Amino acid sequence: METITAAAPGAQDDAIEKFKELAHEMRGFGGTFDYNLITAISDQLFRVMEQFKGINAQQAMIIKVHIDSMKVVSTERIKGDGGERGEQVMSGLRSVIAKFT
Residue 64 confidence (pLDDT) above 90: yes
Range of the domain at 39: 2-100
From CA 6, how far away is CA 26, in angstroms rounded? Answer: 26
φ and ψ of 100, to 5 deg? -105, 5
Query: What is this structure's pTM?
Result: 0.86
- Residue 93, pLDDT score: 93
Based on the structure, what is the number of domains in the chain?
1
pLDDT tens digits, one per residue of 46-56:
999 999 888 88
